[in-house]
Amino acid sequence: MSANRVDGNLWIRRYHPAPDAAVRLVCLPHAGGSASYFFPVSKELSPDFDVLAVQYPGRQDRRDERCMDSIAELADAVTAVLLPVTDRPVVLFGHSMGATLAFEVARRLERRGIVPLALLASGRRAPSRHRDEGVHRRSDDEIVAELKALSGTKAEVLGDEELLRMVLPAIRSDYKAAETYRYVEGPPLSTPIQAHFGVDDPRVSRDEAAAWAEHTTGPFELHSYPGGHFYLNDEAPRVIEAIAKVGASVGP
């Protein structure tokens, strides 16, 4: 069994185990992303945080599994996996599609009486702000062009036709999940929310990021950074600092 899994669970990667940490950080990747995207975050925050990176089906070591093309289905599955590890405060951190997923996981946890310590939504407009983008309905070449425009996929993958054939089904499925998601009215979260976004992101305006405030009765913070949709690649230290401050509120 791989040492970076939690009890052999296919959904969770624990790259730097810190079982005695006071806080658990759950990281949810972007469309087409994988748990390994958060390896640097795990390295920086361990051992102060027990960092759990979520691995969606249909990619890397889960490539033979059926992709899930619904945020609701993903949220149900992730929530079920997380329930056994909510014995200490949990911070949810999602980028792009992962931010929407984190929101829906937070809703499900709160219905069970578990209020996350914070939700950090990165590179994603508020759930109530919809755009009809339809990337998942485009041709393979058009999806590749979208990935290049957003700079979210490694250049070596985009230039390798065999690798692309392997990852495009998961990317298309994730885009479908993100683009067919529709916010269902309900009570706002009690969980504090932070929205983080790149000022040049074509997918998120300042107003759309600020609208996350409508989804919580708790504190809200808005953080902007230089860069586009994947501002996080260059601004990770500042985002990691924001996460660390949340954890510091728990105390020793």
d(CA 233, CA 145): 19
Q: Could you list the active site residues?
A: 96
What is the separation of C-alpha 11 from the centre of its chain, rounded to a whole number of angstroms?
Answer: 13
CA distance 108 to 84: 14
Say how far apart CA 193 and CA 195 lie, in whole Å.
7
DSSP H or E segment with residue 71 = helix 71-82
Q: Where are the beta strands (DSSP E) in 22-99?
A: 23-28, 49-54, 90-95
- Pairwise CA distance, residues 236 & 95, whole Å: 12
Conformation bin of residue 174: beta by default, left when phi > 0, alpha when psi is -120 to 50: alpha
Pairing of strands 12-13, 49-54: antiparallel
Spatial neighbors of 211 by CB under 8 A, at least 6 apart, are 125, 126, 128, 129
